[in-house]
Amino acid sequence: MTDTPDKRSPLRWELRIAPRARHAKLRIRPYGGLEVVIPPRFPRAQIPALVERHAAWARRQLDRQTRLRDAIRLPQRLDLAYDGSSTPVIYTSEPLCWTGDLFAEPSSAPIVVEAADQASRIGELRGWIRRRAQQLLPPKLEELSRRSGLDFARVGIRSQKTRWGSCSSRGHISLNDQLLFLPEDTVEYLMIHELCHTRQLDHSRRFWRLVETHCPDYRAHERLMSRSRDRVPDWFLVDLYR
């Protein structure tokens, strides 16, 4: 990257400190956003100059991503691998009166998206995913907790960019709502993984022995988890990275 300075408004970026990085670099994140990656000892005062030096390159890449983002098509059906459901989506900018069964299962009634622009429509779809995850995931975690004897304090549902789940030192488990795009057995493994962290926070040999006690084929699930990001649809990730 050897572009001349760009005199337009300053670029916005997010900073990430990478312990293994040897040099500072600029990176365009998936689906939008400029990221500055630096080694731990890189002088923070030099970051603005680094960004300005490569501003033209960064703007070209961000403009390209904007065009790609605008070309993404929204789903006509919302397919969830977790429960095998396939729910039709109706888009309208006018209020729509649904005359179907008000007491039907959530997966049988259509998702009515009452928004005109794409960003708002994505927001409504992601809101539906969040609500569905709150319905489905905590009961499954409670079931696995009872079955394994691994207790947790509470559970929260979030839209995390990189983690499928996490567990704090107080036993608070956070689950990613995008887990609904993964098969149920893979999600169960992730929950067992986080429940084991209530006993052992690190990834030591002791932790993995505990995981193996409750999930003997955990290695196969770990391999599946490493490739599971591809299961999350583009329209979901576009809004997540804005």
pLDDT per residue as tens digits for the range 144-184: 999 999 999 999 999 887 789 999 999 999 999 999 999 99
Pick 107 or 57 by higher pLDDT. 57
Same domain, 87 and 155: yes
Distances from the Cα of 205 to the Cαs of 152, 173, 208, 209, 210, in angstroms? 21, 21, 5, 6, 9
The strand ranges marked E within 8-153 are: 13-17, 25-28, 34-38, 77-80, 85-92, 111-114
Contact 53, 3 (CB under 8 A): yes
Q: What is the mean pLDDT of residues 14-33?
A: 83
Residues 6+ apart with CB under 8 A from 102: none
Q: What is the mean pLDDT of residues 57-70?
A: 78
CA torsion sign for 228, 231, 236, 242 is positive
Q: Is the pLDDT of residue 101 over 50?
A: no
Same domain, 53 and 34: yes
Residue 178 located in a structural domain: yes
Domain count, the chain: 2
Q: Is the pLDDT of residue 35 over 80?
A: yes
Q: Are strands 172-176 and 154-158 parallel, antiparallel or unpaired?
A: parallel
Residue 127 located in a structural domain: yes
- pLDDT at residue 38, rounded to an integer: 93
Q: What integer best gives the mean pLDDT of the chain? A: 86
Reading the block at residue 16, the tokens are 């990430």
Question: Percent of the chain scored above 70 by pLDDT?
Answer: 86
Q: What does the alpha-carbon distance between residue 187 and residue 221 come to, in Å, rounded to a whole number?
A: 9
What is the model's pTM?
A: 0.72
Q: What is the mean pLDDT of residues 101-120?
A: 72
Same domain, 21 and 115: no
Domain of 174, in residue numbers: 77-240
- pLDDT at residue 12, rounded to an integer: 87
Same domain, 202 and 118: yes
Q: Cα–chain-centroid distance for residue 168?
A: 18
Same domain, 21 and 122: no
What is the band of 6 on the pLDDT scale with cuts at 50, 70, 90?
Answer: very low
Residue 5 located in a structural domain: no
Same domain, 102 and 52: no
Q: Is the pLDDT of residue 230 over 90?
A: no
Q: Which CATH number does the domain housing residue 179 bear?
A: 3.30.2010.10
Q: Is the pLDDT of residue 211 over 90?
A: yes
Same domain, 86 and 50: no
- pLDDT at residue 240, rounded to an integer: 65
